[in-house]
Amino acid sequence: MNANGPILQIEGLEKRFGGLTATDGVTLDLRPGEIHALIGPNGAGKSTLINQLCGELAPDAGTIRLMGRDVTHLPTHARVALGLGRTFQVTSLLDDCTVGESVALAVQAHAGGNLRLWDRAKGRRVVQARAEALLAGTGLEDRAGVPSADLSHGERKQLELVMALALEPALMLLDEPMAGLGPVESQQMVTVLRGLRDQTAILLVEHDMEAVFALADRISVLVYGRIIATGSVEEIRDNAEVREAYLGGEDELC
């Protein structure tokens, strides 16, 4: 793969449900280190697109390339092995585990057989150190001993993100990371996501426009399954077609 080539290339992707075209010729790319937001009204086809990228839905036409590799017909686990990471709209944590244990489990799962290179004690220290490094700067550093069940909604979202990052993905698909967060938690999540730029490219599906404008390098706008515009925050804010389609032309996109 070309190191400066796109992390993700989607070309002419199509998905139909009976007579409804939920993904209608979507072409989109993600560059290394980029936060690319995907916005659009309810029912525009954002989840359908994400599910095709994950391998949970098979497209009817088009291609998906991950770091140059055609993954269109690969199963989810093969895409994950190639560097695809994701979080979910619904939290899916192990409530019996503490924050520290949860992250350590994810680190251990990723390290797999490599841990056998060391004796048990050394292996545990390596996992522990990596888990602490992942938690640093997330707002969860001081919560390592707390059971996941006792976390606030915002903290659970952060923990899921950290666990997904333990797998060192080249591309993270984030499905509404701000959903259900209060203003303080949202701000914290924005800070955490901004800090991830060096680690992974991010495709961010998000309704919270303040967060999108604060984070996105580029924004793509999906309406009725079609991308009607891709551009910088300023370009999208000033785009009359976007305002018309997204807000019924009533107001500025703000």
Ligand X SMILES: Nc1ncnc2c1ncn2[C@@H]1O[C@H](COP(=O)(O)OP(=O)(O)OP(=O)(O)O)[C@@H](O)[C@H]1O
- Which residues here bind ligand X, judged by CB under 6 A? 17, 20, 22, 40, 42-48
Helices 153-165, 183-194: axis angle to 10 degrees equals 10
53 closest CA partner among 90, 78, 79: 79
Shortest distance (Å) from residue 60 CB to ligand X:
13
Pairwise CA distance, residues 131 & 128, whole Å: 5
Measured from the CB of residue 205, what is the shortest distance to ligand X in angstroms? 7
* Rounded least distance, CB 82 to ligand X, Å: 24
As to burial, measured by CB atoms within 10 angstroms (0-12 exposed, 13-18 middle, 19+ buried), residue 58 is exposed
Closest distance to ligand X from the beta carbon of 104 (Å)? 33
Q: Is the Cβ of residue 54 or residue 103 nearer to ligand X in the bound state?
A: 54
CA 219/CA 88 separation, integer angstroms: 20
CB of 45 to ligand X, least distance (A): 4
Q: Is 10 or 131 the residue whose CB approaches ligand X more closely?
A: 10
Query: By C-beta, is 155 or 175 nearer to ligand X?
Result: 175
- CB neighbours of 136 closer than 8 A, spacing ≥ 6? none
Residues 246, 249, 253, 254: what is their CA dihedral angle, to the nearest 10 degrees?
-130
Strand 201-205 to 171-175 pairing: parallel
**Complex with ligand X: residue 184 or 247, whichever CB lies closer:** 247
